[in-house]
Amino acid sequence: MDQDDVDVLVVGLDSACRRVLETLFEAGETPTIERLLEAGTSGPLESQIPPWTASAWPSLYTGKNPGKHGVYDFLTFDGYDWDVVNATHVRERPVWELLAEHGLSSVVVNVPVTHPTREVEGALIPGMTAPEDPDCQPAGILEDVKADCGGYRIYPQSGPEPTGSIESYERTIELRGRAFRYLLERFSPDFGFLQFQVTDSVFHERPGDWEAIEAVYRAVDRELEAVLERADPRNVLLVSDHGMGEVTGQEFRVNEFFRDRGYVTVKSGGEGMPTWSRAWENDLLAGEDANGHEAGTLERAMAVAARVGITTQRVAGALEYVGLKEPIGRRMPNDLIRAASEQVDFPNSLAYVRSKSELGVRINLEGREPAGTVPREEYDEFRARLIEDLSAVETPAGEPMFDDVAPRERYFEGPHLEDAPDVVTVPAEFDNAIVASLDGERFADPVEPWNHKRTGIVAATGADLEENVTLAGATIFDIAPTICSLLSVPIDAGMDGSPLPVVDPSETRAYPAYDPDPIEATGDAVVEKRLSDLGYL
């Protein structure tokens, strides 16, 4: 491959931020990343609301907010049904497709929410929310990658190493880098986009474990150094979709709060939306037949107990007191769990949180939801009441629970606004968290001691980039128009961001409406299991 074939290289480090990186720099663990930040211009990169992977990366690679591209969460909802999002839910043009319209080729590896893949000028191996061994572009390229690189995987637990082990992280990262370098040499692209997801996963699976965190970043640094040596890119952008940090505040169970106000109706008996992480834990231990059993004495007793208000949450507390929670809870069939768990009765409720990762409240609106209970003429008044109620919530320490509680229009605009939650909730400094579960109490210590923060990082260095300029105010919506400007491609007038001040903006143009593929179901149990393991579901 000729030197300088890659004009623009984007490296995505999921959840990277100054606080984490400075700790690694002080320990001397990541010299390549440190050199990139020092060689050019760097600064904070503000994420969107919600600052979570499945929505934020599409915002970054389209340059548009979720109201335009349509993805708000790891989940998409159709009435009371849900599915994991995939690339067909992204209803705006990815930047590499825009580049292709101008005759430029790309190699894209591991970017989330890019499966099912579309035809691309170059090569694309999808990332998170894709199944393991996905279809890639061009057809058959993944088999070539595996043959040349000694394998490939999207998720660390897909390998032979113990799940959550440092070895599984390191091997996944090594294969990622090898695959990208192979594709660079084979396709000689104008644009390259390589994303590392494990820099986020390690915080969810091994929170605060700096041995594992340092190992992950060391492995990423090694692969990045090898990529830079192979590609010799003219310009490099290092970006993250959000930050990461400790959560020391409170977990707020919004649906419990709504139950007290009469907005949420609760039911038991195996319907509704269960606590997925607990169900997945049982599936993992018991195999595919976790639910394949006949109703026995224990299940019937649990169902009766549920009808009189004895839930698995209360049972779990008693089991924990006598030291039996782990061995019993881990062997309980999933439909037994559902039979004894209180759940939101969505069709008969007025408002509820469906998914904690979309950071919002959905109203059960008449004419929109299949069994809507809130008349349309009362929508504005009811939503204002929800906002007022939630805005007044204080933690047990007397601090505001939220920095903002607002109508969705404050954060989103576009043709898919109707798919957004009706009310957006922004936890105070993201040191608090919301959950959708029903566990009796309104507040609890956070289940995840490390979680997403809104501020990530951006670094820009290269022959076509100005130095000594400030990047204050940069957002993830600015990355796609920056890529266009670096490659002298007209910026889509519908993009919500502007080129970073390190580059002269290219012209702005109104492009024809994007023609996305028909929406396909994801329906992949392995993907759902992975998202549950990481705490997103």
The DSSP output letter for 447 is: S
Quote the CA–CA distance of 36 and 28 in Å, as a whole number: 14
The pLDDT tens digits for 460-475 are 999 999 988 999 999 9
Can you read off the two tokens belonging to residue 272? 């509704």
Round the average pLDDT of the chain to a whole number and report it.
88
**Domain residue ranges in the chain:** 8-247+451-463+471-533, 254-265+345-446, 276-343
For residue 225, what are the CA distances in angstroms to 30, 233, 311, 375?
10, 12, 53, 58
In which element (H, E) is residue 169 found?
Answer: helix 166-187
Q: What is 199-258 written as a DSSP string?
A: HHHHHHHSTT-HHHHHHHHHHHHHHHHHHHHHH--SEEEEE-SSEEEE--S-EEEHHHHH
Helices (H), ranges, 352-475 = 379-391
Quote the CA–CA distance of 84 and 79 in Å, as a whole number: 14
In which element (H, E) is residue 443 found?
Answer: strand 443-444
Q: Which pLDDT score is estimated for 525? A: 72
> Which of 60, 406, 47 lies closest to 237 in space, CA to CA?
60
Q: Tell me how far the alpha carbon of residue 254 is from its chain's centroid.
A: 21
Confidence band for 534, pLDDT divided at 50, 70 and 90: confident
Can you read off the two tokens belonging to residue 254? 């919004």
Can you read off the two tokens belonging to residue 480? 């796609």
The pLDDT tens digits for 13-66 are 999 999 999 999 999 999 999 999 999 999 999 999 999 999 999 999 999 999
Fill in the amino acid letter for 355. S
DSSP helix/strand/coil, 187: helix
The pLDDT tens digits for 279-326 are 333 332 233 333 343 444 444 444 444 444 443 333 333 333 333 333
In which element (H, E) is residue 523 found?
Answer: none
Q: Are 537 and 75 in contact (CB under 8 A)?
A: yes
Quote the CA–CA distance of 332 and 525 in Å, as a whole number: 19
Q: Which pLDDT score is estimated for 298? A: 45
Q: Which pLDDT score is estimated for 207? A: 95
> Which of 33, 66, 70 lies closest to 220 in space, CA to CA?
33
Examine the pLDDT at 343 and tell me if it is beyond 60.
Answer: yes
Quote the CA–CA distance of 271 and 274 in Å, as a whole number: 8
In which element (H, E) is residue 51 found?
Answer: none
Q: What is 7-24 written as a DSSP string?
A: SEEEEEETT--HHHHHHH
Sign of the CA dihedral running 45, 46, 51, 55 = negative
In which element (H, E) is residue 320 found?
Answer: helix 312-321
Examine the pLDDT at 276 and tell me if it is beyond 90.
Answer: no
The pLDDT tens digits for 251-275 are 999 999 999 999 999 998 654 443 4
In the block, tokens 């409170």 appear at 250
Quote the CA–CA distance of 377 and 176 in Å, as a whole number: 53
Residues 6+ positions from 420 with CB-CB distance below 8 Å: 66, 67, 72, 358, 360, 408, 411, 412
Quote the CA–CA distance of 275 and 252 in Å, as a whole number: 16
Helix, strand, coil percentages, rounded to 5, for the chain: 40, 20, 45
Can you read off the two tokens belonging to residue 247? 């959560």
Q: Which pLDDT score is estimated for 5? A: 78
Q: What is the CATH code of the structural domain delimited by 8-247+451-463+471-533?
A: 3.40.720.10
Q: Tell me how far the alpha carbon of residue 281 is from its chain's centroid.
A: 21
Examine the pLDDT at 98 and tell me if it is beyond 60.
Answer: yes
Fill in the amino acid letter for 5. D
Q: Are 446 and 464 in contact (CB under 8 A)?
A: no
Quote the CA–CA distance of 198 and 170 in Å, as a whole number: 9
The pLDDT tens digits for 147-175 are 999 999 999 999 999 989 999 999 999 99
Confidence band for 440, pLDDT divided at 50, 70 and 90: confident
Can you read off the two tokens belonging to residue 403? 């920095």
Q: Are 458 and 274 in contact (CB under 8 A)?
A: no
Quote the CA–CA distance of 410 and 34 in Å, as a whole number: 36
